[in-house]
Structures are given as structure tokens and as C-alpha cells.
A and B are shown apart, each in its own frame.
Chain A
Amino acid sequence: MLEIRDLHASVGEVPILKGVNLKVSPGEVHAIMGPNGSGKSTLAYVLAGKPGYHHTSGQALLDGKDILSLLPEDRARMGLFLCFQHPIEVPGVRLDHFMRAGYNAIRKSKSQEEMDVLKFDKLVNDKASTVEMDRNLIKRSVNEGFSGGEKKRNEILQMAIFEPTLAILDEPDSGLDVDALRVVASGINQLRRPDSSIILVTHYQRILEYIVPDMVHVFSNGQIVKSGDKNLALEVEQRGYDWLENVPSSNKQV
């Protein structure tokens, strides 16, 4: 599915990622944890192709193909989906129009027929119930005036509609109260499938009580410094990150 090999990347001129190695197999959920500024979100942006975030060496193979030089839209068309930590407000663009335009652009790139408005509306309605999203929001401008929780639900709704093969969730839990967290987490859990993978970037162990990961990786200073199973998250929760920061770069499992 995804294989990252010795990935180095910079934001502007500043090196942030300093040799990341990661392998995610189909059906797996990998949690990436780490303190602020460790490079977790940068990894998400580099994989999704955000302008200004460029790789300096290494590879990221999605289904065997290096995606690092592709345009963001081409990565999306290959099945990559970034769930934004801070979803962007787009005044004047209706959410349903936006989603349908993206959905159909992806279908078109695969020489599939575009989905008409009626069918797409039905799809959106079906998926909206899985994330308990207020249907009125769907006819409004993208994220404009949405609460923090509504923005996060909107990201999960889009993920449910796009059915990516690789979803990268950048702190889907940040700023959520327990009820909203439960809804978002259950939305994500419903999207776990044997043929798709999830990378879940988070600062807190809390969400991992709802979404049980196959692997947990701890980031520090642009590298994965420790990998393990779900118990690593609990250890981090108890001990904090300090004890890991001096661990030499390694992908060895505990």
C-alpha cells in the first residue's frame, strides 16, 4: 500500500523530515504520535503534496508508484485523501458542489462516468448520517461558519464519500469534546476496510481508545524514534514524550 523510504523534506528552506521510514499494509491503521513541532503534520502535507512542502530525498511509494513528484490532484486521483487538521473555509462554494466536483474529477480521471446530481445527493445523504452531520450544512459554503466539530465531521464525511485507499488523518481529534470525538471516531471506524489503510496523526492517546491502531509510531525531530503496538500509545500517555527524544533513530519495534 504505502512505503516511505528514508524521506527527507523541507518547509521552505528549513529541513523538517530527516529520514522517515514507514510501511503501511492494506487494512492497517497506523497512529503517528509525537510532540508539537516533531514533524507529524509535515509528513501528512508532504504526502498530500501541499505547495511549499517539498521532499529533498527519499521515496513514498503508493501501490508501488512514487507519488512525491505528482500534483496534489493526481495523488487524490490515486486514492490518497488528507483529512485536514484545520479545514479551510471557502466562502461562496457550496459544500455539495465542491464535493461533487472533486468526486467527478476523480471518476473522470479513471474514465468512469460522472455521477449526476440526484445520485450524488443520495450518496451524500447516506454518508452524512454515518457521521451525524447536519444536512443543512451540506448546502452551505464549505466550512464557512462551521463549528470546530462540524468542520471535523465534514472532513470525515468527505472521506466517507471519496472512499480513499489511503487516508491520512491529521489530528482529527484536536479541539473536540468527548461526544464529538466519539462521533468522529466511529465515523472513521466505519471506514476501516481490508483494502484501505489509515494513517492517524494525533497528539493524544485519547482517540486511540476508540480507534484501535495496528501500529503506533512516535515522532521526534523529524524521525520515527519508536514503533510499537497500541500499548506504546498508553506508555506515551503515562510517561510523556521526553524519554523518547534521545532514543536513536530506529524503526525497530519494541
Chain B
Amino acid sequence: MTNRSNKELRQYIHAQEFFEDGVFSEDPGWARNLRQSAMANLKQIGLPTQRRGNEEWKYTDVRPIARTDFQLGTNGPSSEISESDLAPLSFGGINWIRLVFINGTYSPDMSSLSGAGKDITVTNLSEGMKTQPDLVRNHLSHYADYETKAFTALNTSFVHDGALVHIPDNQVVTEPIQILFLSAPQYHTSVSHPRVLVVTGKHSEATIIEGYTGPPATGYLTNGVTELVIGEGSSVKYYKAQRQGQDSYHITTTEVILGRDSNFSSVNIDLGGKITRNNLNILTQEENSSCKLSGLYMVTGTQHVDNQVIIDHAKPYTTSRELYKGVLAGSSRSVFHGSIIVREGAVKVNAHQVDKNLLLSDKAEADTKPAFWVYCDDVLCGHGAACGQMDESALFYLRSRGLDEQAARGMLTRAFVNEVIDNIENKQFRNYVDELVENTLEDWLNE
């Protein structure tokens, strides 16, 4: 451990000690041990501030995060937080199950669990550690790597509150389960470590929506980890919408384990954040499982958004589809780093990856890096990448029919992003994203 990383971590070490003596003290011993070993790992590896020779963090500089002395936000007085603070994430239906976390701390007042059937579990993780200890202990932190990944280790060092969702065998949950994380910093620089664990049994279905928001002009850090364990024959849709402030940092890791014949589809929307980094890791652990991953990022100013997606095709007859699209304005920058691994013996794997970027400004920059490690002959893998400005001939075509330039640009940009939005099956969430995109473009094109 270098001196610098020691200094960078001091705030977290102190905070952890503080919480272990306080609100964490009632957690079971294994949870305390888990946090301790995660912190020990973090001290060993340090934050990934060195980018030279570090492919994983080559394009994303986390030094601004490492240098900031973040305060671990605690739940402020509840009178200061109101429903209106959640307005940027208001897409839910009346009957939807909703878990709300403020600065990572569970807010029972703002949550609504009444829609949950008696067979399914939707609760706060710290509660679940006591009521469903075997379930939590058998899954929590079993998939997200807190030994070598610094931000996951940091999150795990504070694992306590969070969302726990368990769908038993043969349960079809029709209404989406919303998990909302609100940063409401009482300090300018506060940090939260959102945590989500979703486990489904066999032949179940569920839709999970994660939302992240916070005030526009403060430099808070959100460092989330989500683990999704999808049982045999189950189907899970996972949507994530990030609308944090333009000065905030958003780092998340999502681990997905796919059982036999299971289906996973995700749509990841990023609009906010000064530095955003999403790690999405899929393991097709059993045969004939499949995933369909979509992403849309729209950034401007000096925003930086980095999506790192790793699909590990461990078993035969597994398929993956990736479609990520970005619209970049101002001097913004995007990174898409998509890795596909096909293990030995994983025959008949079918994997396809696409990343396309539309640059609305000369100063914006998009980096796309596909990587394939294929250790099996009998597979079908492909990828496509594109990056460019708006198609001038299409623009002229639209204008020749009477549309003014701004309307034509808006229409073409909408068309570009619609391919991703169309992958959102839930109507309310799709309408919500649709409106967000419309408003964002209107702001940009009017500038």
C-alpha cells in the first residue's frame, strides 16, 4: 500500500470504524467480517488512479474522486426530504412496490411495500440479514468481486442497508419493483454506497427498475453494487436510470448470474454525472441462457461516461446481444469497452455487440473498444461500431420537405436513440425515458 492510497482511503477507514461502533453493530457477525475483509482488500489494492498499463481504467480518470474528502452521508432530518426530491424519478405506477434510500440509508416513510405478494420478499437488506439470513449470506458478495475491484471493495466495506428482492419459484411479478437512490447531501461532498441483491427462483419473472438522482450542483459520489442471480427458466428485466447532478460522480457495478434457460434484458440510461462509470458483468453460468443489453447515454459539457460490459459465455448455447448508443454534445466524452469471452467447450455461442455514437459537436469524443476472447471454434460472434456526426444527406432530405434545421436535427437524433428506447418493454418507464430524451434534446438544440 502506497502512502498516497493510504491518505485517499483514510476517510473511508475512519467512517467504517465509526459505523461499526454505531448503526452497523447489530448486524450478524458474518456481515461484520465481510466488511472488514473488504476494507482489508481495499487497503491492498487502493483506488485505480494509475491508468498507465491499466486497461480497465485507461480512459477514465478517477483521481478527482480519490482526491475528494467525502463524508459518508447519513440520513438527514426527514422533514428536509420530500416527495418532490424524487420528482426526477417519478415514473412509477401507483401500485408499484417501491424502496427508497436516502444517501444509501433506507427510508421506510418514502417506501411502499404494500404491492408485494406474500410469497415474494422486498425489503431492506439489513432487515433481510436478520429475517432471511441464509438467503442473504448465501448470495451477498458472492458475485461482485471485492477482492480485486476497488470500488466494489469500497462498497462492500459499508454493506448494510440496501434492497433485497427474492422471487421464489414460479412467481410472475407483473408490476415493476422500483429501487430509488436519492443523494441529498447535507455536506457538499457526501458519499453513498447503494447495494442491491436480487435472487429469483425457477421459472419466475420480474422487472427491476433502479433510479439514481440528486441535486444538480454538488459533488457527491454514488458507488453502487447490484447483484442479480437469475434462476433456471426465469426472466428478469432490469432498467437503470441515472439522473444525478452534473457535478456528481456515479460508479456502479452490476453482476448478473444466469441460470439454465434464463433470460436477462437490461436498459441502462445515463444522463447526469460528471464522471460516470458502469461496470456490467454477465456470467452465463448455465446452458441456453441469454441476455439482451441496451444502453443510452446522453452527455454534454465536460461530462464523461464510461460503460464497461463483460459477457462471460461459460456454457454452450448461450446468446448475448448488446446495443449501446450515445449522443454527445459539448466537450463530453464517452467510452464503451465491451468484452466477450467464450470459454472452452461453450459451443454454439451466439454473441453480437453494437456501439454507436452520434457526435453533436466537434469537441465531443467517443471511444469504442470491442474485445473478444474466444476459446471455442463453433461459435458466432460479431460486432459493429460507429461514431460520427449527423448524416448531412438525411438532414437535407428532411429540410427539403419543409422541416427547419432544428426540427430536422431533433428528428434524426430521436430516431437514433429510439432504437434503444424501443427495447424498454415497460410502458411507463419507456414513456418516462422518452420524455427525458425529448426534454434533453430540446435544451441542447435550443442552446
A117 is an interface residue with CB less than 8 A from chain B: no
A65 within 8 A of B: no
Considering the complex, give the chain B residue whose CB is closest to the CB of A94. Answer: B415
B407 CB contact (under 8 Å) in A75, A88, A99, A105: A105
Could you say which of B198-206, B316-324, B392-400 contacts chain A? B392-400
CA distance A99 to B407 in the complex (A): 13
Does the CB pair B401–A71 fall under 8 Å? no
Task: Check A90–B418 contact: CB distance below 8 A.
Answer: no
CB-CB nearest in chain B for A158: B401
Contact between B401 and A102, CB atoms less than 8 A apart: yes
Interface centre among A75, A102, A109 (most CB of B within 10 A): A102
Instruction: Indicate with 1 or 0, residue by residue over A28-61, a CB within 8 angstroms of chain B CB atoms.
Output: 0000000000000000000011110000000000
Judge whether A92 and B416 touch: CB under 8 Å: yes
Note all chain B residues with C-beta closer than 8 A to A49.
Answer: 399-400
Q: Is there contact, CB below 8 Å, between A93 and B404? A: no
Q: A101 interface residue, CB < 8 Å from B?
A: yes
B324 to chain A, nearest CB (A): 16
What is the chain B residue whose CB lies nearest that of A76? B402
Q: B399's contact among A71, A89, A141, by CB below 8 Å, is which?
A: A71
Assuming the contacts A90-B394, A92-B419, A105-B407, asked whether A72 and B400 have C-beta atoms less than 8 A apart, the reply is yes
- Give the top 4 A-B pairs by smallest Cβ distance, nearest first: A92-B415, A102-B401, A88-B397, A106-B402
In the complex, B442 has a CB within 8 A of chain A: no
Apart from A88-B394, A90-B394, A105-B404, 15 more pairs, CB < 8 Å = A73-B400, A76-B400, A76-B401, A77-B402, A84-B400, A90-B412, A91-B419, A92-B419, A98-B401, A98-B411, A102-B398, A102-B401, A102-B403, A142-B397, A158-B401
Instruction: Report the contact-size class of chain A (Cβ under 8 Å from the partner).
Output: 20 to 34
Interface assignment of A148: CB less than 8 Å from any CB of chain B: no
Interface residue? B292 (CB, 8 A): no
Asked whether B383 is an interface residue with its Cβ less than 8 Å from the other chain, the reply is: no
Closest to A102 in B: B401
Residues from chain A with Cβ under 8 Å of B398 in the complex: 90, 98, 102
Partner of A90, one of B392, B415, B419: B415
Complex: how many Å from CA A50 to CA B392? 10
Q: When chains A and B are docked, how far (Å) is the Cα of A98 from the Cα of B418?
A: 15
- Does A204 touch B at the CB level, under 8 Å? no
**Of B397, B401, B411, B412, the contact of A162 (CB 8 Å cutoff):** B401
Inter-chain contacts of B149 with A (CB < 8 A): none
Residues of B within 8 A of A72 (CB): 396, 399-400
Nearest-neighbor residue (CB-CB) of B421 within chain A: A92
Distance to closest chain A CB from B133 (angstroms) = 49
Q: Does A103 contact B (CB under 8 A)?
A: yes
What separation, in Å, do the CA atoms of A75 and B404 have in the docked complex? 11
Report A162 CB to chain B, min CB distance, Å.
Answer: 7
Question: Scoring A residues 63 to 90 as 1 if CB is less than 8 Å from chain B, else 0, what string do you get?
Answer: 0000000011101110001101001111
Indicate which residue in B393, B403, B405, B414 contacts A88 across the interface (CB closer than 8 Å): B393
Q: How many Å from the CB of A28 to the closest CB on chain B?
A: 22
The answer, among B392, B396, B402, B412, for a CB contact under 8 Å with A93, is B412
**Are A73 and B411 touching (Cβ within 8 A)?**
no
Interface centre among A81, A91, A142, A162 (most CB of B within 10 A): A91
| 12 contacts across the A-B interface (CB closer than 8 A) | A48-B400, A49-B399, A73-B405, A77-B402, A84-B397, A88-B393, A90-B412, A92-B418, A93-B412, A93-B414, A98-B398, A103-B402
Please, how many angstroms separate the alpha-carbon atoms of A84 and B412 in the complex? 19
What is the minimal beta-carbon distance from A70 to any residue of chain B, in angstroms? 11
Contact B405 A71 (CB under 8 A): yes
Q: Mark B413-427, 1 if CB is under 8 A from A, else 0.
A: 011101100000000
Chain B residues near A82: list those with CB within 8 A. 400
Chain A residues contacting B399 (CB-CB under 8 Å) are 49, 71-73, 76
Contacts of A48 in B (CB 8 A): 400
